[in-house]
Amino acid sequence: MNTKPTIYTQEYGKKATVDGVKLIPMKTFIVDEGDFSELFRLSETGTLEALPDFHLRQINRTRVFSGSIKAWHIHNNQEECWYVPPTDQLMVGLWDLREGSKTYDNKMKINLGGGVSQALYIPVGVAHGLHNLLNRPVELFYFVSNQFSPISPDENRIAWDAADKDFWNPERD
């Protein structure tokens, strides 16, 4: 029995977005001995030049083990900027859960790192998570607008598979 495969054209059009999410390119300078990236410049008043309404209160680093999915969590009062060095890579998921938002319930994926130096701005009310698809740990640096309080954390969890467990799988042809 000779069956013909299904042939299709891959879509390259615009994908769903989440209102208010921003990718901020970083300046990277390549030199003989390596490279140097400016992560953020601060104004004279201490605000981020790229996000003047964002008030930086804490800078954090986390290491994500290979294959880990640290999925859906959401903040009611905190904005975040995530940075993954270009030598690493994480698949980031974003889910707009802000009632009244023009992109309410939109979900999107962004790859951070992967040879590109950029930061990801995540507004209040946008659920977010990540998946480390590499076979080694990956470093994530995140800049937040509120200081962490273990007594009263501004972090609510949503089940990792609430948006569909296949969400965290990479697209396959």
pTM value > 0.95: no
Per-domain residue ranges of the chain? 23-162
Give the H/E segment covering residue 48: none
Pairing outcome for strands 107-113 and 89-96: antiparallel
Span 21-39, pLDDT tens digits: 999 998 888 889 988 888 9
Give 1's pLDDT tier (boundaries 50, 70, 90): low
Q: For domain 23-162, give the fold.
A: Jelly Rolls (2.60.120)
